[in-house]
Amino acid sequence: MKNTLAIIKPDAMIKGHLDNIRKDILDNGFSIIEEKTLHLSNEQACAFYDIHQDKPFFDELVKFMTSYECHVMKLEKEDAVIEWRNLMGATDSQKADLGTIRQKYGTDISMNATHGSDSNENADKEIRFFFNG
């Protein structure tokens, strides 16, 4: 079994999709090992997304992620990283396949409902960022 980090982002939280997305996660065979709702500070959002700090969308990303509460989850499943990325769909909600979480609950490339780690190495780092390993 492997773990990944999932975040339900402010757009989906504001629209009340927390329970729908949790249900999709559980229905697709993941276990939610740990979870919490929190309102990210500017400092936390900058630190979490530091890999993107030189990107043109960085300021917009931090502003969005701090605009309201997020729900963070440590997920477990065989091949959790790839399985969660498949369930989320493409980063841009406009391009995400029908039935994926980002297609169902997101709007575009910045308001895309959820985040997922992109590798096992980053999953470990991101899980440690919010939980005790």
Residue 129 has, within 13 A of its CA and on its CB side, a CA count of 23
Q: Which of 5, 12, 25, 61 binds ligand CMP (CB under 6 A)?
A: 61
In which order are the strands placed within the sheet that holds 2-8? 31-38, 70-77, 2-8, 114-116
| Position 122 contacts ligand CMP (CB under 6 A) | no
Q: What is the pattern of x (binds ligand CMP, CB under 6 A) and - over residues 80-99?
A: -----------x--------
Q: Which of 20, 107, 109, 122 binds ligand CMP (CB under 6 A)?
A: 109
User: Catalytic site residue 115?
Assistant: yes
Dist CA 80 CA 83 (whole Å): 5
Torsion sign, CA atoms 124, 125, 130, 133: positive
Nearest one of 80, 73, 78 to 22, comparing CA atoms: 73
Task: Output the smallest distance, CB 130 to ligand CMP, in A.
Answer: 14
Task: Output the smallest distance, CB 76 to ligand CMP, in A.
Answer: 19
Q: Which of 3, 93, 100, 112 binds ligand CMP (CB under 6 A)?
A: 112
Measuring CA to CA, how many Å separate 80 from each of 21, 25, 77? 16, 11, 5
Q: Give the catalytic positions in this structure.
A: 115
List contacts with ligand CMP (CB under 6 A). 52, 57, 60-61, 91, 109-110, 112, 115
